[in-house]
Chains A and B, each alone.
Chain A
Amino acid sequence: MRCSGRFAAACLRRSGWVAYAAALWLGGCYPINPALSRYDPHAGYRYENLSARDSDNTFVALSLSGGGTRAAAFAYGVLEELRATDIGGGRSMLDEADVISSVSGGSFAAAYYGLFGPKTFFTEFPDAVLYRRIERDLVLRVLAPWNWPRLLSPFFGRGDLADEYYGNHIFKSRTFAHLPRKRPYIMLNATDISRGAQFSFTQEHFDRICSDLGPLAISRGVVASSAFPIGFTPITFKNHGKETCGYEAPEWVGNSEQDLDVNPQLYDLAKTWRSYESAQHRPYIHLSDGGLADNIGLRAIETGIGSTGSLGLYEKVNFREVERIAFIIVDAKPESEPAADRSARPPGIVTVLNAAATTPLENYSSDTIERIRLWFDEWDRAAQDFDVRRAGCDRLAAKICGSSGSASACATERRGQCYEEAHASEMFRPPHPKLYPIHVRFEAIPDAAAKESLKGIGTRLQLPRREVNDLIFWARRLLRESQPYRDLVAGLRQASQDRMTGHRAP
């Protein structure tokens, strides 16, 4: 699927006959993402179409950060620990994962796990990715003279070369249609570089450009998600135009366009959503590393819950179907000693460019984590406030009605009045699942030397075997020793035991 008819026309307009003929002859065009014949908001790879692997009253979302092989190994360690954690009834914590959202290096692990399942993932992923010298292999391909004509084509870049390599050697030419129709929902996230907005490899996002995600190679999603600028060229997608499949933006988009002052973040998201509608203005979408929009992959989950509603969590919470919500943030953020600060000379251009490219991302990532923490706090506080209001009414009724006892008609009446006035009746009881924010990060490593060592591992696509093994070891240990994780596991084990004994919590 190279240089389709309409794409060929674009080639012609841009480069003229000679360049086009040369590019076509040499295969120097990237694959065109397939068109969607008819828009169906309930079809394709989306969360609502996946069956739950296990208990549906626990929502577990994992976000896998960027950071090359460092991030992939750290993610692998966490997934391995989840698999090793027994929660009773012959199930592991990994069975509870509902969503895995990833960017950049984390996307190798997310895609491989989603595609091949736990058995293959835990036996093959280390050799297929973690110990593989991907960087060397890619450099060799760039240096190979037979690839130069293609790389000189304006329609084929280093990102496309990496896509070929990942597709042939890691992802076995599988497509998104090969992803199983069961959870976890895999969200590989890239960045639309023109808008600076997250672009996920889900049908919901591909609907916007009337493109069918199913036949697209998984490797295309991984390479877009991890196409770090300069190292890789952006990955280009054709916007087929909303009229070609009859796409209609969801209702929240139109409503949110009125909310500039009320919810500016959602307003911006709605504007971005609309920007894809005109294939005349944006006939092509260029995607780059997902880390440019969010380097921990958490925003896609937050957006799917609180903005677009595509993960349907609020609905399940409102129907009181969710008892536990866990966010496992796998954060392979490095932090090397600032060598520039040891010199009186101002930092060089490379150091400054690197800081300009990465520092805002890290701040943005911290901001996302903080937003989740505040969200959880607000939820807990709402439930506590309700209990306080109710207890205040109970005390007041007892005081007014004196020794006649709490069950007396007086107390019942007074309490009821107070509940109404204080908004403490059952109608106002907020849904309150137990919340588990689990942040797996190098900073929590208790061993100072190990911490410094891991924080100093660079963002590469190949690492020494020892560093990969250290990353896996510490990821497992950090997760295992995380208090919120231990609480979650204890809660699930208790629930499993209760199920077996027929006991039901009040």
Chain B
Amino acid sequence: MNYPNPFADAIDYQRMEQHYDQEALDSLNAISPMTRTQQPIVTGTSVLAVKYKDGIMMTTDCLASYGSLARFRNVERMLKVGDSTIIGASGDISDFQYITYLMDKLMTKEYNANNGQPLAPENIYEYLSQVMYQRRNKFDPLWNALVVGGFQDGKSFLGYVNLRGTTYQSETIATGYGAYIAQPLLRNAVEKRNGEPLTEEEAKKLLDDCMRVLFYRDARSLNKLQRATVTAAGVNISEPYSLETEWAFAENIRGYGA
């Protein structure tokens, strides 16, 4: 005798279900999980800053690169916050624009509080470093290295904070490629003075010299830069300007394809 299997339907159904599940799984696999910023896209290169006699001097160039493409050539990478603070940014430009928005929000709040006590550079620095640190703890960092310069009540302030929330304050600060090339030059110039502060002219020349070297060697730099000062007179960001360069020596370079 050949009896029918009483569970045939159930087994068929189970197979169907299994088939359905597999399909669902496949379709789920096709959707990639949500990701956070894992690399910068449009980037700015070095920020240089020094303390000098009257306050802080900072320079950046005006380039926002898309990988190795010089994508945007007229970008301001320094931001005035309040009357005595400036923020210089390297790294992801869109994240910097978000920070610009945050600072604007913060200053609007301060304006409305109207408490006659403006935020000091130290306060803005602390706020920024906490934002950066909290975002790194969410594994969603703001991909920047920021330099905060300020001058208030006769005191200079110069601090650094990066995408991990790491902070330090120093007489000279350089980010990105500048940390390799300009920082030694800056430290050398400052330490040579044995505690005697740089004059405005000296600081200008020092930063220009460093930016020139960076323009020669940093392939993501541009000979169009801005200089900012923070002094008792307030924050001043210059119009873009260029440096004198000398390329005649390039004729004599041999090797590496030349």
Report if A and B associate in a common complex.
no
